[in-house]
Every structure is written in C-alpha cells, then in structure tokens.
Amino acid sequence: MNLRVIFLTARRNRGIILGMDIHTRETLKINEKGHLEIGGADCVALAERFSTPLYVFDEVHIRAMMRVYRETIDREYGGYGCVLYASKAFSCMAMYGIARQEGLGVDVVSGGELYTARKAGFPAEKIYMHGNNKLPSELEEALDAGVGHIVVDSMLEADRLEEMCKARGKTQRVLLRINPGVEAHTHHFVQTATPDSKFGFSIANGDAARMTEHILSLPHLELRGFHCHIGSQIFEKESFSLAAEKCLAFLAELKKSGYTCEELNMGGGFGVWYAEDDRMIPPSGYAEYLSALIGTIKTGCAKYGLKEPFLLIEPGRSIVAEAGITLYTVGAIREIKGLRKYVAVDGGMFENPRYCLYGSRYTAILANKANEPATERVSLAGKCCESGDLLGVDMPLAHAETGDIIAVLTTGAYNYAMASNYNRNLIPPAVLVNEGEAEYIIRPQTYEDLTRNDILPDRLTK
Ligand SMILES: *Cc1c(COP(=O)(O)O)cnc(C)c1O
C-alpha cells in the first residue's frame, strides 16, 4: 500500500483530525512490519546498520527524474538540447556518476564542485560553470579542466576571461547570464519592471544588450547564447513561459543587429513536495513543465523567425530533493503543557539548516511505526546550542517515544550541500539505496576529521 492511501485510511477510520497526505512515491512505502521503506530498503534496518543521523537517497527516483527531463527534450524538441543537473543541490562524486550515466550535463558554481565532478570522471565538455563572482583562480581551474561553457555574469569576469584565454591562445565558449525581469515565488509570480538582483544583466534596462555587444567584441570568447534562472521551488508553469517569452523577444532584437543565439539555458527551479499543501507531482508529471517551456520556445521562434536554439535546463532540487530522506533517532521529549511539545533528534541545523535559514517546512514520519496516524503536532528540535535549531514546528506526527526512528522526507536537496560542523557535530554520512541494496556514497566523518586542519601553535601548549 502506498503512503497516501495509508494516511487517508487512517484519517477516515479513526476520526483523526491531524491527518496528512504523504506524497506518493513509487519507492517510498510502508512494509508488512509497519516500517517505512525507501527504494526497497527498510528504514529501521538502515538506521541499525548505518546509525543515525543518516542521509538516504533513492537512486531509482533520481534516475527517474533525470530521464523524464531528458526524454521530454528528446520527444518534443528532437533531442536538440541537454539537461544539466544543477549540482549545488547535492554535490558528491556519486551524483556526478549517476548524471554521467544518464547522459546529463552538469552545472557547477565553484572550483570545489568542478573538482568533485572532474574527480568523478565527469566529462569537462558537458560542464557549465556558473557564479556571479567567480574567482580568478576558479576561472583558471575551469580553463585548465576545459569546461564546455562558462556562464559570464559580470563585465569584470568577461574581461578577465578574455585576458586568460588570450594568454592561453584559446577560445572559450560562453553564455551570458541575463535577467528577464520575471520574479518567481513559490505560490505566485510577478513581473518586475525594475529588476533588483545580484545575478544577470537586465533585458529591460538595456544592460543585457550592451553586455552582449561587449562580449562579441572580445576575440577569445565565443558567445553561444544566454542563460537565465528565475528562482527556485516554483510551481507555476507560467513563470517559466513568461521568462522564455522575454528571452525570445530579446533574441529577436539581437537578430536585427545580426547576432544569432545558438543556445538558450532556461535554468532550473521546478518545485517539489515538502509538506501538507505543496503540490504532489510524480516524476512523470515534471514533463509538463518542460513541455510548456518547449511550447513557448517553439511558438516564439516561429513568431520572430528565429532559429530554434539548443535548449538547456538546469534542474537541481527537483532531481534530488524527493529522492532523499534523513533518518534520526528520537532522544529527549519535552512537553510544555498547553504550549508545545518538543521531540529532540540526534541531528539538527548542522545537517539540515533549511528551517533556520528559510523557515522551510518538512514532513516527518515515525519510520518504525509508519502505520500509526499522526495524532499530535510536535516541534522537531535539533541538538545544537541554539533555540532556533529546529527542523520544523508543529509538524503532524504519531506519538513518538525515545528510541523511535524519525524520517524527515524530501531532504535530498540543499541539506548535505549546506551541512556544517557547527558545534563540532559530525556531518552524517549518506547512503544510496537501489532496489533494497544500500551502500555509502559519503563516509561518516570522524572526530579526527574535525581537527585535521586545526593548528595548535606551540606557544599555546605551554
Ligand atoms: C540553483 C540554480 C539552479 C537549480 O535550481 P533548483 O531550484 O534547484 O532547480 C539552476 N541554475 C542556476 C544558475 C542556479 O543558481
């Protein structure tokens, strides 16, 4: 039985008011023991074998998401495009390995991500390098590695890159990051007349056109086209279409002065299910986002008489967020009568800072009592010395006891990627599950790792 059915049934039968729907996922189930299962692996068994806190990723879900995007481009755009995994969502060697096997490209936003991708054997020509303030050293690293494209986001960078390429006697393919002036939000989108962003050159105020002209004047940069990324956790297809329309109108203007855009990168940002009222979209449903976008691009190109550009998209969150869960063990439970119940876990803001950063919402479930209906609302507390160190407040949960295993769902994106050693807590390991088999893709840290780069000057030992 899938989770959604379980919860709906529980709500009906026992008159539960604090029921919730869990996003149905082919590989997230409740097994005959009443345990939560991910990718065919029993979460309670995973917690016993690998200990908690533990990041768990379902490989089947990750691959399904990558394929949906790739196959949509194949089917509806003649395969004339490439899906780039926005690796900042979860960057580790295994993810670059999966992306490579699935025929994706990747985008990287730092020298560290580039290094990790290359170390995993990811082909340099399928790497796009982003960043609003790439360091000179990072640009050199990108050129050393031979990355396919660098996405230029400042005049300084364009000029630096030109100098570096000139010195090397090579030409570098670049895209220019533009800002179409579409501000996308989680539940609505608005058009902004005066874009205010640290990213991209505004189309509306003419900066994008001026910067295009400048790059075209630099002999060692080959301007292949443009990139935009309107935001993250967006559910409205209209936002993406509106951005595409603005980009195409811009390309139509450039065409008049003789420039033909070869590549158009529309970024990422597709929303995922985290909690209660978020939209639930199965992997196959994400094809609709891309279909809508492709439709807009085809229509726009026909309208303006433009050549259909090589299409790139850069989903990060939607590829990996729902594929991941985090397992914790319940420790202290504190009930403040008439106020709030805190259930403390062995993790916190050091391995999932998103509640602290953005007030993000999550769904939690007792993995060892997954059939029990959510009858309470509790706040999940972390173990850091910060009162703000929570994973969520007033989350529906079944009655929890010390020792229970809690699974927090949809933690695959921007969790490990943002983890820290705050309070000198160890960043948990990550395991990849595939049809019931689990293996480490990120080893557990040790206390020794914590002091590896520490230096105790001699004078401080006396
Ligand atoms: C963060 C980012 C993405 C990915 O966004 P998601 O919301 O994770 O899909 C893609 N492109 C760029 C340039 C980004 O900064």
Q: State the pLDDT at residue 21.
A: 56
Site of tokens 């796009």 = 128
- Going through 132-220 in order, the beta strands assigned E by DSSP cover 149-152, 172-179, 182-184, 189-191, 201-202
Contacts 24+ apart (CB under 8 A), 120-124: 120/93, 120/94, 120/96, 121/96, 121/97, 122/96, 124/148
Q: State the pLDDT at residue 3.
A: 52
d(CA 205, CA 193): 9
Question: Catalytic residue at 385?
Answer: yes
Q: State the pLDDT at residue 303.
A: 97
Q: State the pLDDT at residue 185.
A: 62
pLDDT surpasses 50 at 1: no
CB–CB of 283/65 below 8 Å? Answer: yes
CA of 457 to the centre of ligand 1 (A): 42
Q: State the pLDDT at residue 25.
A: 64
Split at pLDDT 50, 70, 90, the class of 198 is confident
pLDDT one-digit tens code per residue, 71-117: 999 999 999 999 999 999 999 999 999 999 999 999 999 999 999 99
Q: State the pLDDT at residue 27.
A: 74
How are beta strands 172-179 and 221-227 bridged, if at all?
parallel
- Structure tokens belonging to residue 318: 């939607």
Q: What is the number of the ligand 1 atom nearest to the C-alpha of 268?
A: 9
pLDDT one-digit tens code per residue, 168-186: 999 999 999 999 998 776 4
pLDDT surpasses 60 at 10: no
How are beta strands 364-366 and 405-409 bridged, if at all?
antiparallel
Q: Would the CB of 267 count as within 6 Å of ligand 1?
A: yes
CA of 233 to the centre of ligand 1 (A): 10
Active-site residue, from 43, 165, 228, 385: 385
pLDDT one-digit tens code per residue, 275-326: 988 888 989 999 999 999 999 999 999 999 999 999 999 999 999 999 999 9
d(CA 293, CA 308): 13
CB–CB of 377/280 below 8 Å? Answer: no
Complete domains list, the chain, with CATH: 3-53+324-411+428-448 (2.40.37.10), 59-320 (3.20.20.10)
d(CA 189, CA 166): 42
Instruction: Give the chain's length.
Output: 462
Please give the DSSP secondary-structure letter assigned to residue 238. H
Q: Which residues pair with 57 in a beta bridge?
A: 324, 432
CB–CB of 64/283 below 8 Å? Answer: yes
Q: Whose CA is nearest to atom 11 of ligand 1?
A: 267
Q: Would the CB of 113 count as within 6 Å of ligand 1?
A: no
Least reliable range by pLDDT among 12-26, 44-58, 225-239, 247-261: 12-26
d(CA 193, CA 206): 12
Q: Would the CB of 89 count as within 6 Å of ligand 1?
A: yes
CB–CB of 148/126 below 8 Å? Answer: yes
